[in-house]
Structure 1
Amino acid sequence: MDIKSFSLGAAEEVTGSKHILQLDDRYIMIDCGAFQGKRKESDEKNRNFDFDVDDLDAVILTHGHFDHCGLLPVLAKRGYEGNIYATPATRDIANLVLMDSARIQARDAEFLAKQAAKKGEKFKWKPLYSEEDCIAVANQIVGVSYNRRMPVAPGVQLEFFDAGHILGSAFASITVNPNKKDPEKETRILYTGDIGRKCKPIIRNPALDMPAPDYIFMETTYGNKLHQDHDIAMKELIRVVRESCQRKGKIIIPSFAIERAQELVYYLHRLIEQKKIPHVPIYVDSPMAVNATSVFRVHPECYDESVNEAFLKHHKNPFGFGDLTYTTSIEESKALNKKEGPMIIITADGMCEAGRVLYHLANDISNPRNTVMIVGYMAENTLGRKIRDGEEEVMILGDKYKVEAKVELMNAFSAHADYGEMTEWLKGIDTSRLKKIFLVHGEKEAQEFFKNHLHENGFPEVEIVKAGEKYTL
């Protein structure tokens, strides 16, 4: 069988993961994510990605982040009627993410139509998909548990292993021409999706015990960066909260609604219990984060041992305590803008490109008493990246705002492994059959650095994937 692979996204860039495994004249797609970045450019890419679904046998979803699942409804609208394989938790998370995206697109369309009407212009922009499209694609998602081998196409088997990134995230181990009698005749390809980190709260560490791969398609989001030490990060979090409370300011934390929001709640809960920070009102202002937290509660199979101990055996809720309020309605969200600090507002979108975070930033970013805490990766050209990079003035919802609030960077909360952690993971798995590592899902500079780093650590065959270019396996 002639085996090739190519990528339609997340090649020398971070977002829009879409990797294609070609088996003769049939195809399997691994992830179908949306691009994020400059709005016009991202919108064009998301509308115009070119792929013929007629020869597509299966779709495999590694996890439920928007840049990995966000274009599944578009794929279905173009005629794909086959199965989408994901872990049960990923299925539930992806449904939330897609429905939330459809609602945001509908609101954006309504807003832009009104703006165009005021200028006497015709409105042309339409949402990529609707809530009905999301419901339809949800029926195509087939739940596959970790460590359960599943045939997904003729001569192809899939097995998921815990990636430790977000709830339900998985490494996708694909075996082509499986052969129990002679494993040397089969080809094993491992798509990492996003690689998580050891010793993070709530979910388990990335899996190490899996079939030895011949090829690895490996993410490189933090391919040239090291995260803060956890203890230092906790001290920094304590400092920022205490200083903000003294100033009676607000801390705005742009956060991904899945994993990051729950992790922040978990840490803040512990720090208040330990009396390391004062009691301060904490608001999770994101309907999707609220819904995602409910999904966390029904997937204890993904928890690490410590959370299982507290949550299942002692009935302690790690996602709820006295200082915490989950807001869902628009009225509740708007009311936060009128409240005086101190307070902490954890709100989506994580890259500050859509959602309620925009309104909180517009309201609070020009007040020097306030703080914007950056706790994760910000893609190029996003509002979050501009704030992180120290731009003195930013555009929010069509208006310019001076950045007078303090900006605090804390990369220890990232759900992505850094280059040291990725190398440690790689050395921990069975690489006895490994022929080549292909690098995806990273910016060019990060990938070049990580490629050289891997060479220095005993992995000579490493290639950076270029968009659309085919690689023979």
Structure 2
Amino acid sequence: MKIAFHGAARTVTGSKHLITLDNGKQILLDCGMFQGMGQDTDRLNEELGFDPRKVTYMVLSHAHIDHTGLIPRLPKLGYNGPIFCTAATRDLTDVLLQDSAEIQRDDAKYENKKRHQQDLPPIEPLYTVDDALRAVKQLTPVNYNTWTRIDPDVEVLFTDAGHIIGSACVHLRITEHGQTRQLTFSGDVGRYGDMILKSPEVFPQADFIVMESTYGSSLHEAAVPSDAELLRYIHETCIENKGKLIIPAFSVGRTQELLYALNMAQLNGKLPKVDFFVDSPLSLETTEVVRSHPECFNDTLQAVLRRDDNPFDFPGLTYIRTVDESKQLNFRTAPCVIIAASGMAEAGRVKHHIANNILNPQNMILLVGYCEPDSLGGRLMRGAKQVHIYGTLYEVNARVGSIRSMSAHGDYHDLGHWLKCQDAQKVKKLFLVHGEYEVQQIFREWLQKLGFGDVEIPAQHSEVTLP
């Protein structure tokens, strides 16, 4: 048995790992899109690194685009098999892939206007909405905590990862030459004590582990809770400075967490009286999907539901649906809070809102999660004084803030907690993926002190034979 790492290898996006069995069958874990990789992004998304026609099965950990975003390319390139996932992941992926296709279409249209003026050939999106709709038909839901046989020699088990609605850690029980071994793929591990979701679950002993390491060298704990920090930024920007607070937020997970925190502040009489806008039709759709899967909520939110049937809505909140409504926010002079996708500010309406508000020192751009270093959000987080947005150079006059503790990714303490159910001596090999290389090197040393002897950081497109 071999495993090859064709994405999220010494970087955080583009998750895709290919297992090849001795009998030639192949199992693809995730098929994510690279995001925020600067000029290399398009090239990386064009080069899968494997032949989809040879893939036998695909297993999907969760719906985020950096794990699902290239799935619509697979049927076009020859893969027509099942894509196993949880029911909530199926529902979210349906929405997110259609949105991804629409964003690509709109961004290509915008870019081609400039290319036409420069006598350059037009660019094409990676896939269309029709491609996304065809791919979604291959999504095959599997229940949590039940071993499901997908092949005479392969069983799959999903355990809750606590990252977003429907997220799962993937466990494969593979039999070869009369010997059964378990390979565990963490997907993205969430936080223990999340305000909305259940905590990551324990899982059976693994022989091999492919593990994310996004925050493998840092702790999220802050002196001030994230909801208190959020209210402080709103008060400073909208009440004291009379400005606009622009919050790039992923439509799944982060937006619902923000809305839940704001709703609870309103219920407790602490929410400043300003207007709030969620400028993302996708966020409205995904919030409805999240509401439709209360089985994934933790006990605290289950209790809130008994007194508030919609914990993601509150007086003063408006969902923006149309492009014209979104444009009207540019002419608004009154203080307000605008929450819009994407979380790394690489695409979507938030990019236009940043461009229209970045020159005003009264305004603030508040980053509330991980940003790839080369993404617009990453550059702002690092303190860039100037940034390019859609080819135009802007001075960064607006203030930039961040609440790192709102990340849906576990820090190294959470990741260590996730591994506590494992006997380190029985894990033959542990691979670190989905992390920046410097962070992974630090995390590897920490894991080795915990007793995990063989910890490898695979490079892009590298392949390893499992002992």
TM-score, normalised with respect to structure 2: 0.96
* One-letter amino acid matched to 1:5: I
**Secondary structure in 2 aligned to 1:176?**
strand
Distance 2:460 2:254 in 1: 29
Distance 2:91 2:176 in 1: 30
1:169-203 per-residue CA deviation (whole Å, 9 max, x = no partner) reads 00001000299xx9xx4100100010000111221
1:68-101 per-residue CA deviation (whole Å, 9 max, x = no partner) reads 0000011111010100011011111111111111
User: 1:307: which partner in 2?
Assistant: 301
Contact 1:195/1:422, CA 8 A, preserved across alignment: yes
Contact 2:281/2:321, CA 8 A, preserved across alignment: yes
User: By how many angstroms is 1:230 displaced?
Assistant: 7.4
Q: Give yes or no for the alignment of 1:70 onto 2:64.
A: no
User: 1:269: which partner in 2?
Assistant: 263
Residue 356 (structure 2) aligned to one of 347, 363, 368:
363
* One-letter amino acid matched to 2:100: S
Question: Given the superposition, is the C-alpha separation of residues 461 and 57 from structure 1 closer, same or farther in structure 2, using an over 3 Å criterion?
Answer: same
Contact 2:49/2:461, CA 8 A, preserved across alignment: no
User: 1:176: which partner in 2?
Assistant: 174
User: 1:379: which partner in 2?
Assistant: 372
Distance 1:271 1:371 in 2: 21
Contact 2:37/2:372, CA 8 A, preserved across alignment: no
* One-letter amino acid matched to 1:55: K
Q: Give yes or no for the alignment of 1:233 onto 2:232.
A: no
**Secondary structure in 1 aligned to 2:446?**
helix
**Secondary structure in 1 aligned to 2:426?**
coil
* One-letter amino acid matched to 2:32: G
1:198-224 per-residue CA deviation (whole Å, 9 max, x = no partner) reads 11122111111x211111100001111
User: By how many angstroms is 1:225 displaced?
Assistant: 1.5
Percent identical across equivalent pairs?
A: 41
User: 2:102: which partner in 1?
Assistant: 103
User: By how many angstroms is 1:301 displaced?
Assistant: 1.6
User: By how many angstroms is 1:243 displaced?
Assistant: 1.1
Stretches of structure 1 lacking an aligned partner (at least 5 in a row): none
User: 1:294: which partner in 2?
Assistant: 288
**Secondary structure in 2 aligned to 1:103?**
helix
Distance 2:463 2:390 in 1: 40
Contact 1:15/1:67, CA 8 A, preserved across alignment: yes
User: 1:324: which partner in 2?
Assistant: 317
User: By how many angstroms is 1:232 displaced?
Assistant: 3.5
Report the number of matched residues: 464
User: 2:274: which partner in 1?
Assistant: 280
Q: Give yes or no for the alignment of 1:186 onto 2:180.
A: yes
Question: Given the superposition, is the C-alpha separation of residues 229 and 178 from structure 1 closer, same or farther in structure 2, using an over 3 Å criterion?
Answer: farther
User: 2:12: which partner in 1?
Assistant: 14
Equivalence map 1:175-214=2 (5 Å): 175-177=173-175, 185-208=179-202, 210-214=203-207
Distance 1:442 1:27 in 2: 25
User: By how many angstroms is 1:444 displaced?
Assistant: 0.5
User: 2:399: which partner in 1?
Assistant: 406
Distance 1:125 1:296 in 2: 35
| Segment of structure 1 superposing worse, 296-305 or 422-431 | 422-431
Distance 2:80 2:445 in 1: 42
User: By how many angstroms is 1:315 displaced?
Assistant: 4.6
**Secondary structure in 1 aligned to 2:56?**
strand
User: 1:27: which partner in 2?
Assistant: 26
Contact 2:206/2:422, CA 8 A, preserved across alignment: no
Contact 2:28/2:55, CA 8 A, preserved across alignment: yes
User: By how many angstroms is 1:155 displaced?
Assistant: 0.1
Distance 1:232 1:139 in 2: 41
**Secondary structure in 1 aligned to 2:462?**
coil
User: By how many angstroms is 1:296 displaced?
Assistant: 0.8
Q: Give yes or no for the alignment of 1:162 onto 2:155.
A: no
User: 2:382: which partner in 1?
Assistant: 389
**Secondary structure in 1 aligned to 2:310?**
coil
Contact 2:369/2:403, CA 8 A, preserved across alignment: yes
Distance 2:71 2:38 in 1: 19
TM-score, normalised with respect to structure 1: 0.95
* One-letter amino acid matched to 2:75: A
User: 1:79: which partner in 2?
Assistant: 78
User: 1:335: which partner in 2?
Assistant: 328
User: By how many angstroms is 1:231 displaced?
Assistant: 4.2
**Secondary structure in 2 aligned to 1:115?**
helix
* One-letter amino acid matched to 1:454: L
User: 2:88: which partner in 1?
Assistant: 89
Contact 1:57/1:153, CA 8 A, preserved across alignment: no
User: 1:247: which partner in 2?
Assistant: 241
Distance 2:49 2:453 in 1: 33
Stretches of 4+ aligned residues off by more than 6 angstroms: none
Distance 2:176 2:303 in 1: 39
**Secondary structure in 1 aligned to 2:374?**
coil
Contact 2:9/2:460, CA 8 A, preserved across alignment: yes
1:237-289 per-residue CA deviation (whole Å, 9 max, x = no partner) reads 23211111221111111111100000001111112322334122111111111
| Segment of structure 1 superposing worse, 413-422 or 265-274 | 265-274
Distance 2:286 2:408 in 1: 16
* One-letter amino acid matched to 1:169: S
Contact 1:36/1:42, CA 8 A, preserved across alignment: yes
Distance 1:233 1:52 in 2: 44
Question: Given the superposition, is the C-alpha separation of residues 303 and 360 from structure 1 closer, same or farther in structure 2, using an over 3 Å criterion?
Answer: same
Question: Given the superposition, is the C-alpha separation of residues 390 and 170 from structure 1 closer, same or farther in structure 2, using an over 3 Å criterion?
Answer: same
Distance 2:70 2:404 in 1: 28
* One-letter amino acid matched to 1:472: T
User: 2:126: which partner in 1?
Assistant: 128
User: By how many angstroms is 1:39 displaced?
Assistant: 4.6
**Secondary structure in 2 aligned to 1:263?**
helix
User: By how many angstroms is 1:153 displaced?
Assistant: 2.5
Stretches of structure 2 lacking an aligned partner (at least 5 in a row): none
Distance 2:130 2:263 in 1: 38
* One-letter amino acid matched to 1:57: T
